[in-house]
Amino acid sequence: MIRLPEPKHEVLARRDAIVAGLRALLPESGLIAEPLRLKPYETDGLSAYRQVPMAVALPETTEQVAAVLGFCHANGVRVVPRGAGTSLSGGALPMADAVVVGLMRMNRILDIDYADRCATVQAGVTNIGITNAVSDNGFFYAPDPSSQLACMIGGNVNMNSGGAHCLKYGVTANNLLGLKIVTIDGEILDIGGAHLDAAGYDWLGLLTGSEGMLAVVTEVTVRILRSPEGARAMLAAFRSNEVAGACVDSIIGSGIIPVALEFMDRPAIHACEAFAHAGYPLDAEAMLIIEVEGSVTEQDDLLARLSAICNQHDPISLKVSQSAEESAAIWKGRKGAFGAIGRISPDYLCMDGTIPTSRLPDVLRRIQEMSDSYGLKVANIFHAGDGNLHPLIMFDANDPASFHKAETFGADILRLCVEVGGCLTGEHGVGVEKRDLMPVQFAAHELEQQRRIKTAFDPDWLLNPSKVFPLVEPEPVPLAA
């Protein structure tokens, strides 16, 4: 179980004054402090953990965010930034003495510039909202996390979100140009802009993925890309995880970088097929969904090359889509994977580690052994091109022992990811979920160095302080300025 830090009792004791002070800084209805109305903010996508915050602030402008942060700073109040609350790692889990700063009312698209291929939006615009705003002109915003209908760009920046198409288009960090941020002392700063590669330290890169610990992001300038002429998918099914893994190696070795290369193991195939009736091969041990882009002729050429490669690995079946409808059918099962697992098991943990792709068969074998020994079922979905593994561990939330076992199983998988040369999280972030595993990947002095950076931005550790780093009272670090 994950521990939250002790609330600051001197802050809780001043609750009414703090609420009144914040209310004065925000528009009517911009401050929530009634217990019933605080309830929806008690958790995020990691719903096993819940904590009602002291208050929720819903600013509508960057200046209001600055006023709220300045007030919290002056009063020693902790702040938990929040977008749509879709974090799977508990990145937006509140604390009893904290003010949640929700960015959802900052949901305007401020500027779209097709000639310079960028858009500036407020932090509360949804990921899909950016693509929807530019798709009529043939453009899109590339990172596509599974939660893209709901998740907000400010949260994407803080977690450095990925998606199924990262292999070609990169993650959030690779698709940003600029940020407007508010520091904990209420200063508003512009980082980067509409141009590439600002001189000086790469604050844009450091802030991306900093999980709300360094600053609150209020505006984001993203790169928008022109959509390709078209895209088409194929499906290849294999006799074993080893053979499917070898096929992935052959594809990458051929010089083709598909726009997506998704791997599903037998339990995932069965769950998705039962749910979506996508026509997945139930006799397969592993399956690949491969997507290519370009003109119809180019798609034909690439799919022919890929089919030839797959055929060298003795596939059980091979289905090359002939149309957008057939491509959609191939994707249907994969995109419904979470719903599918949810039908088999009402509760599941979606894990997120990365491994060197060459270790996939070995890792899947060991996950299966763990599954047998814990007595919990697991299905594996894998962004095969970039090594990002999502084991879905099924458990029964009505049985505390089952949940505890699932958490321990998940932690074992993540340790295994690090052991084989990978990492604890590929795209979900550390949050509270993986916080206590950080010493598996980092030595004590390395964590201390990362904490010093947090201290440089937030000397009093008020911004999302219980996330990412194992709980210890930070040692006071002398500041240069």
Partner 1 sequence: MIPTAEEAAIASSVLTASRAGEPLLIQGNGTKSGMLRPVQSARVLSTRDYAGITLYAPKELILTARAGTPLPEIEAALAEKGQHLIAEPPDLAAIFGQTGRPQTIGGVAAANLSGPRRVAWGATRDHVMGIRAVTGRGEVIHSGGRVLKNVTGLDLCKLFTGSHGTLGVITEVTLKVLPAPETTGSVMLTGLEPEAAVAALSAALGSPFGVSAAAWLPREAAGAIPALAAVAGTVTLARIEDFAASVAYRTDRLRGLLGHGGEILDDATSRAVWRAIGNVEPLLAAKDDAVWRVSVRPSRGPGALRAVIRATGARGFLDWGGGLIWIAGPANEETHGAVCAAANEAGGTWTLMRAPDALRGAVSVVPEEAPPLARITQRVKAAFDPAGILNPGRVHAGV
Identify residues 122-181 at the interface with partner 1 (CB under 8 A): 138-139, 159-160, 162, 166-167, 170-171, 173-174
Which of 401, 480 has the CB closer to partner 1?
Answer: 480
Q: How far are the Cα atoms of 11, 274, 315, 336, 473 from residue 277, in angstroms, in the given order?
A: 54, 6, 21, 10, 52
The set of residues, in sequence order, having a beta carbon less than 8 Å from that of 481 and lying 6+ positions away, is: none
C-beta closer to partner 1: residue 333 or 422: 422
- Rg over alpha carbons for the chain, rounded to the nearest Å, is 23
The C-alpha angle 317, 319, 321, rounded to 5 degrees, equals: 175
User: Using CB under 8 A, which of 118, 271, 303, 320 touches partner 1?
Assistant: 118
Closest CB 54 distance from partner 1, rounded Å:
27
- Identify the bridge partners of residue 181 per DSSP, sorted by sequence position: 189, 217
277 near 398, Cβ under 8 Å?
no
Site string for partner 1, 347-366 (x = CB under 8 A): -------xxxxx--------
Pick from 53, 143, 155, 429: which binds partner 1 (CB under 8 A)? Answer: 429
CB of 267: closest distance to partner 1 in angstroms?
Answer: 23
Per-residue binding letters, 183-222, with partner 1 (x by CB under 8 A) = x-x-x-xxx-xxxxxxxxxxxxxx-xxx------------
Residue 353, burial from CB neighbour count under 10 angstroms (0-12, 13-18, 19+): buried
Regarding 294 and contact with partner 1 (CB under 8 A), the answer is yes
Are 83 and 466 contacting, i.e. CB atoms less than 8 angstroms apart? no
Q: Is 381 helix (H, G, I), strand (E, B) or coil?
A: strand
Give whichever of 20 and 324 is closer to partner 1, judged by the CB atom.
324
Count of beta carbons in the 10 Å neighbourhood of residue 251: 23
Is 235 in contact with 247 (CB distance < 8 Å)?
A: no
Token look-up 């160095």 returns 449
Q: x/- contact string, 439-478, with partner 1 (CB under 8 A)? A: --xxx-xxx-xx-xxxxxx----------x--------xx
Binding mask 367-406 for partner 1 (x = CB under 8 A): ----------------x-xxxx------------------
Among 37, 39, 226, 343, binds partner 1 (CB under 8 A): 226
State the number of binding residues for partner 1 (CB under 8 A).
Answer: 98
Rounded Cα distance between 94 and 464, Å, is 8
Of 422, 461, 463, 464, the residue at the interface with partner 1 (CB under 8 A) is 422
Nearest Cα to Cα of residue 172 among 469, 448, 427: 427
Question: Is the CB of residue 192 less than 8 Å from the CB of residue 177?
Answer: yes
For partner 1, the closer CB: 313 or 319: 313
Residues 46-105 that bind partner 1 (CB under 8 A): none
Report H helices in 263-316.
266-276, 296-311
DSSP state of 191: E
Provide the minimum distance between the beta carbon of 448 and partner 1 in the complex, in angstroms, as a whole number: 9
- The window from 41-49, 68-76, 94-102, 110-118 that contacts partner 1 (CB under 8 A) reads 110-118
Does position 253 interact with partner 1 (CB under 8 A)? The reply is yes
